[in-house]
Structure 1
Amino acid sequence: MKSMSINGKMMRGLVVASVFALGSVNAAFADGKVEVMHWWTSGGEANALSVLKDALKSDGIAWEDSAIAGGSGTNALQVLQARVASGNPPAAMQMHGQQIRSYSEEGLLGDLSEVAKAQNWDAVMAPELQAFAKYNGVYVGVPFNEHRHNWMWTSKKIIDRYGGKVPATWDDWFALADKMKADGVQPLAHGGQPWQEFMLWEDILISVGGPEFHKKALEKLDAESLEGDSMVKTFDMFRKVLGYADTNAANRDWNLATAMVIEDQAAFQFMGDWAKGEFSVAGKKANVDYVCSPAPGTEGTYVFLADFWGFFPVKDEAAKKAQSEMARLTMDPKVQTEFNIRKGSIPARIDIDPKAFDECGQAAIADRAAAAEKGNVLPSLAQNHAQSREVRGVFEDVITSFANNPAMTSAAAVAQLKSGLAGL
């Protein structure tokens, strides 16, 4: 997805505009309604979101849906920027980590301290999510999930034809994919959109250099790591993996790629665990119809991203209560459990009993805990957590150019990364 950038001066102007137009926001809440802007429009996403909608409805709060299609959220975030500029923000907005951080830094988000204290968020919310949910020690956002970026989804029917063993290394994956191609079986279900290619590239980077390479190159932007052999090798392997996609992969939506695995039209997909929501809606079961496993070479790491609600300040008391109730319900243990079972993710809370989840959900909860002990819970760069939107945009532009230009060498891609980051 194309990174959206808002500079400091512009954001300060948006703050002033929003303050002068709060009256229009208040009116929207006076009758017990809450407008929610989000980009969750696939079957699995809508199924999960209905959990929170129904919980609000039971409390007498009507959900005004402002869904804007686009799996990466680019379109929705552009609309949000325009609405904030005009002083007419929604009551609540779905945001990733860096987005909620940007809006909180400019004073645009409301204070959730009262709800956070009542529900003891400091004790029950995953620590890595608190780093984004808080600004200057004050809660300004509430996460309703924690996704894992580095999953591989495998058709059980297809893999059983080849012995049933899911490859754990790229060498094994390539060997098996070659056999499949020779048999006329499509190895990789891929969506050739920038954000999807970025995610695949980040998985490969971890497999090449391990979690420490991710920390140095993507989180610290260490010059030596960015320009070294491991980065060149990452692009080399990325090009090789893309070679196993079908000719119709360009601009394919992620859920359509997932459908290829669901329908046994392709063996593997590399995608975050929101893909599991699509399997669930299709009536498919883990280890019966499909297999979930870490992307090759990434076992022991948990590359995370989360979706937060950011609430824009309102003066009307009824409006404030509606927002507070939405924040409270979002972190309610029952809502967190059912929502994440449907979504494919795991709860933002760390005190939820994993027994309610299927094998993939239980594995994710256990893997997060194990990775946390070793310091290997890593923020996703592709999904707006490891760096600012500006830095992320440089990486995505280079990765997209590389993926779509077979003549571009890995060395040239690394040089472009260096040049792009130096220009920030």
Structure 2
Amino acid sequence: MRNSRLMAATAAAAVLALGLTACSGDDSEGSGDDSTMSEGDGGGEVEVFTWWAAGSEKAGLDALVGVFDEQNPDYTFVNGAVAGGAGSAAKDLLQSRLQAGDPPDTFQAHAGAELQDYIDAAQIEDVSDLYDEFGLTEAFPSDLVDRLSTEDGAIYSVPSNIHRANVVWANPTVLEDAGLDPEAEYADMDAWFEALDAVEESGKTALSIATTWTQVHLLETVLLSDLGAEAYNGLWDGSTDWEGAEVTAALEDFEKLMGYTNTDRDGLDWPDATQQVIDGQAAFNVMGDWAEAAFQEAGSEAPGDYIYFPVPGTDGTFDFLADSFTMPVGAPNPDGTKAWLETVGSAEGQEAFNKAKGSIPARTDADTSDFSEYQQTAVESFANDTIVSSLAHGAAAPVATLNSISDATSKFTTGASDLATFQSELAAANM
């Protein structure tokens, strides 16, 4: 059975000290692949590998699976979810499986530069023909299709959504208790620092944060705020000097922001940091708009229970990322993969998934009339703002670059390096 191979791969990864646990929605046992139909059989198991293993992320996946089951009754969804913030644990296990020639039928990846490593390793298929077959070229915005396309016009994934990374989430009660106006706007980092000082003086955590990837997420928004969209984009095309004075100033602001954060940050993941805002332990949290689903899941309502706004200095800019799904080379059930990709790209799939996930559909023809107030603002922003690509979530830089930046960030925020060393290591990561 397919899930037996998934369990075996997970066990092998544990032996290799990856310390990962695969969460499967199918607990049956068996040997071989006799239950998985081959291409052309029109049915069988479809293993979908994601990092949506719990909470609001799993709720989004469950909603998408509901549409898939309705549209494809002959296929059986197999949940290959692996827990771990931003997919770091899942990506490690996935790479082990791909290298062992044991791919899932499809796997989640961030659209953009993150896919390049899989492309270079010939591990995923070009799915451009499916864009024509499913009508996605017309349904997706043209600039999104351009961002998904390689230089030779190939496309290697189908996005399920659009997320915005440069969002601040805040607890208005905590702000009021600190003598702050919850409706205040912060034009830049300096203005925000004043508010953070006030919260700190009130005895609450000013800015909640979690493990390394959330710190890289914060770093990218500070770079975007201080540099502006054009110079931020230049970090990834080589036109902005990583060792320049503007970057130094941004890193100084990042260092200052980290001084306002919770001391237990490295032992937490993003839901824990967001929960601190929900519970009134912290005033602010910088997180992508998957946090919207967490607030909704907690029964919170905006603006009474929480507020949101672009990271100070980034208003008018949409820091973009997209979850997407691939067709791996050697997928055991390619017809099943195609069926999953069709659901992912469909209006019905995107409406159900994004309403639960907090993000917005990639399709321009999806019905978002009953989406949350925040999601309505995100739809408008994506249509009108300047779009830039997220670093922490795979859109701006290849995996190797992001890994090097993450290592440098971890060293810096744990006190193992100083700012000058941090900046040099960031520059080296982008050579």
- Give the TM-score normalised by the residue count of structure 2: 0.84
* 1:70/1:76 contact within 8 Å kept: yes
Deviation by residue 1:315-368 (Cα, 9 ceiling, x = unmatched):
88xx33322221111111122122112111111112334423222111111111
> Which residue pairs with 1:55 in the alignment?
67
Which residue identity lines up with residue 207 of structure 1 in the other structure? S
SS at match of 1:390: helix
Deviation by residue 1:297-326 (Cα, 9 ceiling, x = unmatched):
11111111111111224588xx33322221
Q: Distance in 2 between matches of 1:153 and 1:93?
A: 30
Which residue identity lines up with residue 393 of structure 1 in the other structure? N
Question: Is the counterpart of residue 164 in structure 1 residue 178 in structure 2?
Answer: no
Aligned length: 389
Question: Is the counterpart of residue 366 in structure 1 residue 385 in structure 2?
Answer: no
SS at match of 1:57: helix
SS at match of 1:264: coil
Aligned counterpart for 1:28 among listed residues 30, 36, 60: 36
> Which residue pairs with 1:109 in the alignment?
124
Deviation at 1:26, TM superposition (A): 8.7
> Which residue pairs with 1:342 in the alignment?
356
> Which residue pairs with 1:70 in the alignment?
84
70 and 90 in structure 1: CA distance in 2 versus 1, 3 angstrom threshold:
same
* 2:103/2:331 contact within 8 Å kept: no
Deviation by residue 1:91-117 (Cα, 9 ceiling, x = unmatched):
010111333333234433235345422
Alignment of 1:250-399 (within 5 A): 250-313=266-329, 319-371=333-385, 376-399=386-409
Structure 1 window deviating more from structure 2 (238-247 vs 131-140): it is 131-140
- Give the TM-score normalised by the residue count of structure 1: 0.85
Deviation at 1:384, TM superposition (A): 1.2
* 2:64/2:353 contact within 8 Å kept: yes
Structure (1 or 2) with the greater helix fraction: 1
Q: Distance in 2 between matches of 1:134 and 1:109?
A: 14
Which residue identity lines up with residue 52 of structure 2 in the other structure? W
* 1:25/1:88 contact within 8 Å kept: no
* 2:67/2:348 contact within 8 Å kept: no
SS at match of 1:312: coil
Is there any run of 5+ residues in structure 1 with no aligned partner, and where? Answer: 1-23
Deviation at 1:123, TM superposition (A): 1.7
Is there any run of 5+ residues in structure 2 with no aligned partner, and where? Answer: 1-31
SS at match of 2:86: coil
Q: Distance in 2 between matches of 1:234 and 1:133?
A: 29
> Which residue pairs with 1:90 in the alignment?
104
SS at match of 1:63: strand
* 2:167/2:287 contact within 8 Å kept: yes
Q: Distance in 2 between matches of 1:44 and 1:263?
A: 17
